[in-house]
Structures are given as C-alpha cells and as structure tokens.
A and B are shown apart, each in its own frame.
Chain A
Amino acid sequence: MAIYYLLPLYVMLSTSVKTLDDIRGGNLIALPQSITLDAWSKAWSSACTGVECGGMKGFFWNSVKMAVPSVLISTLIGAVNGYVVSMWRFRGSDVLFTLLLVGCFIPFQVVLLPMARLLGELGIANTTSGLVLVHVIYGLAFTTLFFRNFFVTIPDELVKAARIDGAGFWTIFFRILLPISGPIFMVCVIWQFTQIWNDFLFGVVFASGESQPITVALNNLVNTSTGVKEYNVDMAAAIIAALPTLFVYMVAGRYFVRGLTAGAVKG
C-alpha cells in the first residue's frame, strides 16, 4: 500500500537525476545509471516556460514574494477577528461570523470575473501585489475561523477577570491571549502557506508573464511543446515547486496535520 504513495516521489527524484538517454533507454522505476544534477540546474536557471528561458528561479521568488506577505497579513487580521468573534460577542456577531464563513465555501470561479475587472481598474492586474490582495481577501474567512475555534476553548473567566482588573480590549489581546496563541499561529501560518504557495487558479487568472507564481510556471514548462521533451528537467522543476511545502511538512509535521484537520471546519 505504501508503494502507491511513495512511487511518485521516487520516480520524480530518480528521473530528475537521470540523463535523457538513460530515461529513454531504461524504464521509469530503474535506478539511474549515473547521477547528474544537470537537469536541476537547468530547471532552476535556464529551462523554457513558453517564450522565456530563465528557469524556475524567478517564478520561485515570485511565489515567495506573494506567499510571505499574504500569509502574514491574513494571519494577523484573522487573529484579531477571531478574538472579537469569540471574546467580544455583541448583538448580531454570530450572524456576522456566519456571513464571513461563507467565504470558505464558495467556488472561487464565481468571483474571478469581477476580481479581474477590479484588479485592472486598480492598476495591479498581473502584479504580485494584486495576487497578495486576492489571497489576503479570500484567506480571511479561514484565518478568522481558525483563531475563533482556538479562542473559544479558552475559559471566559480569564478574560472576565482581566476586565474587572481594568484591562482594555488591546491589553487583553496582547498581554493575555497572544502569549498563549503560539500553536494556533503555527497551524494558521502552515495552512495559509500551503494554500497560497500551491494555488494555481488565482495565479493563472490574475498573473501573466514575469509575475506568475511557480505553479503556473511549472504547468507552462511541462506543457511547452517546442523542442525535445526533457522529462528530467520537468521532474526537477516539479520538485523545486514542491520543496517549500514539503519542507514545512517535514519540519512542522505535527502542526501540519493539525492544520489540515482544523481545516475540516468544525465551526
């Protein structure tokens, strides 16, 4: 059973270090005759995606520039929102929270056309800032949900006592809640990072040419039909595109699983 799960990883890795002759002569699961990193360096710096031939390098950094601010902004806003909807309920706050949650469930196809129009009017179509804006907006529902679900598990007494002692809105947030929110920050950041790094739909619709994220560039590379098909370069590029999220999975596996299962919406 485990073979079904491991085979693709093995095939990707072994193909990426084979020579093209080795790939044509041997077969998919045969070990490489000799190991070469040529395909990797080509994938990183000189492979062609459509008309451009600068490799994955530039697109990789596009994705970094897109993911880092989007993750940070949406997580921070989500933390404050979650704090409000769990600790400072007011009349109608449950209804508002439900309204907000709908954002988790819509198929994004239904907002693509107006969004494209808006980004055009704002002059940030086809830019990384445009993508950051989109990811922050549609990430807020998730991040708010994560923090809300975490904060409701914290006993009310803690906050009530602080209020009696005269602590205000921000004091409670910064002095009492933030110091114990480490785990949920981890979960939220991991979730948002994998979502945003792996996104393809927004990337392909709202970015073009040099501003494309790596998922879009990878897809272009693999489907470029000109010249000899270099499977080893394709596989190396695929691994490069997968490395950041795989790294997160390896390093923070415990939190990764928690993030996934928390994404299973129990609000």
Chain B
Amino acid sequence: MSSSQSQASLSALADRWLPKLVLSPTLLISLVFVYGFIAWTGWLSLTESRLLPQMDLAGLIQYQALFENDRWWTAVANLGIFGGLFIGCTLAVGLFLAVLLDQKIRSEGTLRTIYLYPMALSFIVTGTAWKWMLNPDMGLQKVINDWGFPDFTFDWLVDPDKAIYTVVIAGVWQSSGFVMALFLAGLRGIDDSIIKAAQVDGASLPVIYWRIIIPSLRPVFFSVLLILSHIAIKSFDLVMALTGGGPGTASDVPAIFMYQFAFTRGQLGLGAASAMMMLMTIVAVLVPLMYMETRSAKRG
C-alpha cells in the first residue's frame, strides 16, 4: 500500500491517512456497539441466563420458552394488529391530507403547521394526552354523554379487547402529519407537464391522481413504509404511556415484553431472545423494502 511515495510531501502523506484516521473511531464504535453488542445479545439468548448473565451455551431453550409463552404471542398478535392498522391508516390519512393540501388552498401554511406539530412531541407526551382524553370517566365519553347521549360508551382504553386500538388512534395522530409532509414533497416534485398533458386529454382530477400521480410516488411509498414499519416494530414509549401494556397484558407489544423480562423480571436470556426476534423481524421487513426501493430508484 505504501509504495511510490518517496516524493510525496508530508502533507500529502497526511491527506492520505487522515480521512481513514478520522473515520476510524466511529467505525470502531459501531463495530463494538452495534455489531459487537448484537452478537453479545445473540449469545446471551442462547444461554440459561436469568438474573445474572451466564456464558455457557445452552442451545435454543430460551427461544423454546419464548414460543411457549402466551404473553409473547399476545404481544406478537398486538404488534400485528397495531402495525397493520397504524401503517395502513397513517398512509391513507397522510396521503389524503397531502392531496388536499396540494390543491393550492389558501390556508395551506397554517394547516401544514397544525398537521405536523404532533411530530415534535414525544410519544410519552402523546400517550399522556390521549390517555386523558380517552379516559372513560372524564374524557370524550363524558363529553358525548353531556351532549345528550347518556348511553354512549367509548371505553376502549380499559377494554382488554380494544385497548390496542387506542394505541393506533394516538399513533396515527402523531405520525400522519409527517407522512403528509413526505407525500407533499413528492407531489411537488412531479413534473407538471405530464399532468397538463393528461388534462388536455380530458382526464378528470381523480383519474389523474389515481393513474398518474400516485403511481409516480412509488419511491415515497417505499420510504414511508420503511419508516412506519420501523416505528411500529420499535413502538415502546407510546404503549407505555397510554396503556402500560394493559389492562393486564392486553396491549402488550414485543418491545414491552423485552423490557419487562430483561429489566424488571430478571429473565435476561428470555429478554435477549425476544430482542433477537425483534431484530429479525426488522431485518425481514426492511431488507426486501430497501431492495425494492433501490431497484425502483434505479429504474426511475
């Protein structure tokens, strides 16, 4: 590597090595703290560790215990419900708002500000606010009752079968404005001449959106899906603040399962196994999406 440098001055030599030198601490850090730690957790998930970590491999017993644990499957099912509805609704609402705002309406700036501010809040604040509003004794249920509908009930927050849906309501509230911003940026980036040509051909506005504009937003769809599925799988704060995983364990998700088993119940091995499952889920979702995104980016 270091041949034919006899004439190089000291500064040229420095310029050769400085970039690598500057980058190396960060690389070392991510090697240790990302890859090393994942390996460590992976190893831990293959041991009998409970309260204290043990380093002797014990095979797949923790995964076996995980798969026999009813709470885990509740958490997985909840993630499925939450993830599916959260991603679906956020996409739909975000796209809808973006299309509306794209109509060059007068109050666009104000509306955009309103739709986006939830994104600045933490999930904990969001959860706290919605927990108060969805509280059946004093929240929205009471408002409607006071308006003259005494039989109206809206107690999803304390209903074990419905609690997970309240997380969807708050999650969509938090994230749809952001999705709108992404779609709006995409819409503004579309070449006007294509749309004009379609208008000349007599296509109506819905047809133009459905046949031309939305299909050309493909790359944005991929980015949005990528981000939303990432948020959904990691979701921890919002559930903690809104339902705490309850009533009982009714709105448990894998992130809460992992936290409780690893840090409050002293089941390190099981916690590590659930964390590895989360990682694998993210990999399983993200890798195909990123592959498709780069492919569509190359074509477009």
Contacts and interface: CB of A to CB of B under 8 A. Distances in A.
A81 B23 contact: yes
Contacts, number: 239
Interface residues of B, number: 87
B99 interface: no
Contacts of A141: 30, 34
A151 interface: no
B271 to A, nearest CB: 7
Interface string A184-226: 0000000000100111110011000000000100110011000
B230 A11 contact: no
Q: Is the interface of A mostly helix, strand, loop or mixed?
A: helix
Nearest to B132: A231
Contacts of B275: 107, 109-110, 112-113
Interface residues of A, number: 83
Given A28-B138, A81-B23, A200-B237, 15 more contacts: A2-B114, A15-B132, A28-B143, A84-B23, A96-B23, A105-B230, A106-B38, A110-B279, A113-B268, A114-B40, A116-B263, A117-B53, A140-B29, A199-B122, A245-B120
A50 B253 CA distance: 25
A1 B230 CA distance: 26
Cβ-closest 4 pairs across A and B:
A198-B122, A88-B19, A249-B120, A200-B237
A235 B272 contact: no
A23 interface: yes
A219 B237 CA distance: 9
A113 B122 contact: no
B218 interface: no
Interface of B: 11, 14-15, 18-20, 22-23, 25-27, 29-31, 33-38, 40-41, 44, 53, 97, 100, 111, 113-133, 138-140, 142-143, 146, 173, 177-178, 181-182, 185, 223-224, 226-227, 230, 233-234, 236-237, 240-241, 244, 255, 258-259, 262-263, 268, 271-272, 274-276, 278-279, 282, 286
